[in-house]
Structure 1
């Protein structure tokens, strides 16, 4: 999959994947790289909220899954693909509507077929969820 560049708005210049129907529906989620590494983000909108007035846990988990691959993106430059094998999450606090939700993380180990990633999600710089997971890397069959 080839990322597209957002051409306008708050995330102008950031990458996103419009051919990911679920992420486009639940997000959209964006990715860029700065001097500290990969950062992902989205603006918490009404559609992301649960009945309690905070970002729905399923939305945050979807964002964490997006970030697993965003953080490990360089591992797929060879044309390989990946699927999430495991993902662990810990909710720390809620994110409110209008908040800038961001994430950073790191690859903790990269093997031939398995990549391990961990990260943290923030709401306006407050930690709201930690996550870790593993990705199974494979070469698509022709």
Structure 2
């Protein structure tokens, strides 16, 4: 997707609506240059109210063996914990304190990569998240993250 192709107006939170293409109906953090370059990573609210993050695996995400680079998958997981914790974050911003992942299976070019999970505990300034990343429905990464709420602009 070119820089502004298929992207609508901002929703007031830094997210913009995607209006065309595979991820029409999703949102993307267009203001986050790193996530745009690494992904871009998309997010939406699922029918059950939970949050889901996703992107399509491209050749540029692969390592020398032809599978998704672990750093790319962990970058996506780092973004996804904030998507999963959106409601617990509220109007706050946050930083990642800890992110761990167990690689379960390789990701290949063309696969749809999706992350789902839950806030295990949220209180004060700390949010604990657990989740799973799937490629075309198959588990590829189990993740745990801790977010620390902070003040300031996103």
TM-score, normalising length: structure 2: 0.87
Residue 18 in 1 paired to residue 18 in 2? no
Q: 2:54 aligns with which of 21, 33, 41?
A: 41
Contact 2:14 2:30 survives alignment (8 Å) = no
Q: After TM superposition, give the deviation of residue 136 of structure 1 in Å.
A: 0.4
Rounded Cα–Cα distance in structure 2 between residues aligned with 1:34 and 1:2? 20
**Higher relative contact order (Cα pairs below 8 Å, separated by 6+ residues):** 1
1:1-142 equivalence runs, <5 A: 1-36=13-48, 37-78=50-91, 80-140=92-152
Aligned residue for 2:63, secondary structure, equals coil
Rounded Cα–Cα distance in structure 1 between residues aligned with 2:89 and 2:107? 31
Runs of 4+ with deviation above 3 angstroms: none
Rounded Cα–Cα distance in structure 2 between residues aligned with 1:29 and 1:129? 16
What runs of 5+ residues in structure 2 fail to find an aligned partner?
Answer: 1-12
Q: After TM superposition, give the deviation of residue 45 of structure 1 in Å.
A: 0.6
TM-score, normalising length: structure 1: 0.94
Q: After TM superposition, give the deviation of residue 75 of structure 1 in Å.
A: 2.7
Q: After TM superposition, give the deviation of residue 139 of structure 1 in Å.
A: 2.4
Aligned residue for 2:131, secondary structure, equals strand
Q: After TM superposition, give the deviation of residue 138 of structure 1 in Å.
A: 2.0
Aligned residue for 1:137, secondary structure, equals strand
Q: After TM superposition, give the deviation of residue 74 of structure 1 in Å.
A: 1.6
